[in-house]
Structure 1
Amino acid sequence: MGKRISGVHFLLLAGFLAILGSTMSKSPTLPLYAESLGLGRSDIGLVAAASTVTGILVNFSSGLLSDLYGRRKLLIAGGFVFLSAPLLYFLADDALTLALVRVYYGVATAIFVPVSFALVSDLYPDRKGTFMGFLSSATLAGRALAPLLAGSIIYFLGFPVVFLLCSITGMVVFLLSFRFPDTGRELEKFELTFSKDLLIIGLLDASVYMAYQGIETFLPLFYYLQGRAWLSGLILTLEISIMAVVKPYAGYLSDRIGRRKPIIIGMAMVGLAAFAFAFASSLWAIVAGAIIFSIGASVSEASTKPLATEISRLRGTALGFLESIKDIGQAAGPVLIGFLGIRMGFLFVGVFGILSIGAFLMGRGRVGDEG
């Protein structure tokens, strides 16, 4: 037990540093660095999307490979990418090379997220919700700190120091990955199966991240926040902070009462928050929507990941599949809201979330009743 506790401490530290470094490299660094290279807005948008596309393609395959070859080998490979990718920014001088760097960097996160959560599931089969919640909180802490730290370093010291710091955090992740227990290897050969229940769970996560990315992208454009960028940033920081605090408790609750009820309650709150954004008539309605969303997303996601590992014996593959579906939703959210408009876009996201709950309720068997 002591070795497993020590292992999870290394994993939490690696999760914090991995997401800290990768987020520092893009927020607010990426658009500012791209602009310094002379890229226009359309090119910057394409470069920013490059790593998300990588995630959609690599999440599933990295989870599958961890079931085949073991978690530690994949996490070591991901750690090497975290170490090496930031240094490649020094070689980028146009849109294509910068996009290729982002594609390569995206591989690191696409390996680390599903495989690290699969490792937690291996180590703590009876308390996976709780410890997955702690890992989520560690990564959220890194995500919350990164923009402030990167922005300050750019202002005082310039881009090269940011890239070097990102590489240093990656080096620590790479070294820590050698200390992780070597679990996995559920497969002796490649085996691909389709699960309708897993697809439904993926749609739930896609709904959450469709809303999350939509809020992050369009929050500064709400009438009540125009010209008040500091307030938009404060609300987004509040949102991430709430998620970081709530997820371990939500995971513990999920371990105690089962996965089904928290998913239904959490997704209902996500849908309600989307409707609040769609029909917001005051600043306080927007703040309330952000708070409701943060709690609902935390409660739902703290159960969807553990549930995915319980309905599939291939835990890495299941979590990789979930991450791929989530990334599709995250990429689609801003596009849909931008095309439909803020009100109709968030209304669509809310309806999509409610329909996902319906699909979950009608899923084969009473999936998620047991913790």
Structure 2
Amino acid sequence: MARSRALHLILIAGFFAILGSTMSKSPTLPLYARSIGLGNEAIGLVAAASTVTGIFVNFTSGLLSDVYGRKKLLKMSGFVFLSAPLLYFLAGDALTLALVRIYYGVATAIFVPVSFALISDIYPHKKGTFMGLLSSSTLIGRALAPLLAGGIIYLLGFSVVFLLCSMTGLLVFVLTFRFPDTGGELQRFELSFSWELLLIGLLDAAIYMAYQGIETFLPLFYYLQDRPWLSGMILAVEVAIMAVVKPYAGYLSDRIGRTKPIVIGMSIVGLAMLVFSLSDSLWLVVFAAVAFSVGASISEASTKPLAAEVSRLRGTALGFLESIKDIGQALGPVLVGFLGFRIGFAFIGLFGMASLALFLFAVGRNKVQKREGD
């Protein structure tokens, strides 16, 4: 009963954490930046600030949660979710706005890996299923946020959005005090490199290279350029599919193991990227977007629980996975932008297949070593 109550609190906190943080940036951030006089170059740099924060903070927060416990770190993230939106009122130029985004990025970079580690602590034998549920709750918040923020900006202005984001942060902060206190099993800081974790991270990096590439450049496909509503609808459908599929994919990975779903999911992602690179019609793009959503959900629902299983330091492992993912997410638009749609999406698909091949090679070698040891 206590575990069930804790799960519900974490799911609610995950929904409001991502709802508030996404409202603050989509579509708020570029519109607010433009309103204070920033140009496109400055807006791009400001937008990248929080992602870069995640690359460094994800791993650190996961490690700290193994040392000091999950609850302390999640309280810290709740306080940042509460306070960061209020700092927008002080941001009047590119530098101060970037600093606000860096500070805000700390909240998500702590909350995501540590909350998944907390789920893994509470449900060690069903972590795939319940990590999938947490992913779905955050995805629902991510999907609703642009609609709410856009409407509020149009009707009431930026100030109301920032205050609402702070209120969602307050709710997250209050909920963290009710979380169970797990983790803290590491007596001293202990860093060790793991090829296994790196290979799992490359799989997630490939998925988020693709995701961010699609999100950035889908509206620029020539048959969508004059129909922004349609590209927005396709992206919303992507998120909706992920929210529905992830819990079922996590349950499947709990039943049949992690490797098979990863192979299936990454193969579908590779196919989707190939279709994107060759697409010459709207229907092919829609097919590729749907296929990508399904494949990414199946694979990612297994990579997170697998990372928590290959290391006794679950927080550190999941933080490392999030850091590698953020690197991939940052590189995706850059690759597609420089290489072009066809070569860029094809390259990302090939990168995903190469990562899968390396992962399977490592899995096969580990099985052989275990048999020889027996």
1:365 lines up with 2:366 in the alignment: yes
Q: Which residue of 2 aligns with 1:264?
A: 263
Q: Which moved more, 1:160-169 or 1:220-229?
A: 220-229
- Distance in 1 of aligned mates of 2:301 and 2:366: 21
1:74 lines up with 2:73 in the alignment: yes
* Aligned partner letter, 2:112: V
Q: Quick one: structure 1 residues 366 and 167, their matched pair in 2 at CA, closer, same or farther if it must change by over 3 Å? A: farther
Q: Which moved more, 1:220-229 or 1:150-159?
A: 220-229
Q: Which residue of 2 aligns with 1:45?
A: 44
Runs of at least 4 residues of structure 1 off by over 3 A? none
- Distance in 2 of aligned mates of 1:320 and 1:366: 26
Measured after TM superposition, the shift of residue 128 of structure 1 is 0.2
Q: Which residue of 1 aligns with 2:372?
A: none
* Aligned partner letter, 1:210: M
> What TM-score, normalized to structure 2?
0.97
* Aligned partner letter, 2:270: G
User: 3-state SS of the aligned residue for 1:333?
Assistant: helix
Q: Which residue of 1 aligns with 2:120?
A: 121
Q: Which residue of 2 aligns with 1:217?
A: 216
Q: Which residue of 1 aligns with 2:297?
A: 298
Structure 1 segment 38-187 matched on structure 2, within 5 A = 38-187=37-186
* Aligned partner letter, 1:207: A
* Aligned partner letter, 2:162: F
Structure 1 residue ranges without an equivalent (≥5): none
* Aligned partner letter, 1:182: D
Q: Which residue of 2 aligns with 1:247?
A: 246
Q: For residues 33-56 of structure 1, what are the alpha-carbon distances to aligned partners after superposition, in whole Å with 9 as ceiling and x for unaligned?
A: 000000000000000000000000
- Distance in 2 of aligned mates of 1:25 and 1:281: 35
Structure 2 residue ranges without an equivalent (≥5): 369-374
Q: For residues 155-175 of structure 1, what are the alpha-carbon distances to aligned partners after superposition, in whole Å with 9 as ceiling and x for unaligned?
A: 000000000000000000000
Q: For residues 310-339 of structure 1, what are the alpha-carbon distances to aligned partners after superposition, in whole Å with 9 as ceiling and x for unaligned?
A: 000000000000000000000000001000
Identity of aligned residues (%): 75
- Distance in 1 of aligned mates of 2:94 and 2:270: 37
User: 3-state SS of the aligned residue for 1:225?
Assistant: coil
Q: Which residue of 2 aligns with 1:15?
A: 14
* Aligned partner letter, 1:353: G
**Alpha carbon RMSD of aligned pairs, Å?**
0.7
Q: Which residue of 1 aligns with 2:346?
A: 347
User: 3-state SS of the aligned residue for 2:223?
Assistant: helix
Measured after TM superposition, the shift of residue 224 of structure 1 is 1.5
Measured after TM superposition, the shift of residue 350 of structure 1 is 0.5
- Distance in 1 of aligned mates of 2:260 and 2:366: 15
* Aligned partner letter, 1:158: G
1:188 lines up with 2:187 in the alignment: yes
Measured after TM superposition, the shift of residue 143 of structure 1 is 0.2
Measured after TM superposition, the shift of residue 366 of structure 1 is 4.2
- Distance in 1 of aligned mates of 2:143 and 2:128: 22
* Aligned partner letter, 1:365: N
Measured after TM superposition, the shift of residue 223 of structure 1 is 1.3
User: 3-state SS of the aligned residue for 2:366?
Assistant: coil
- How many residues align structurally? 366
Q: For residues 181-223 of structure 1, what are the alpha-carbon distances to aligned partners after superposition, in whole Å with 9 as ceiling and x for unaligned?
A: 0000120000001110000000000000000000000000111
- Distance in 2 of aligned mates of 1:140 and 1:286: 22
Q: Quick one: structure 1 residues 177 and 140, their matched pair in 2 at CA, closer, same or farther if it must change by over 3 Å? A: same
- Distance in 2 of aligned mates of 1:26 and 1:281: 32
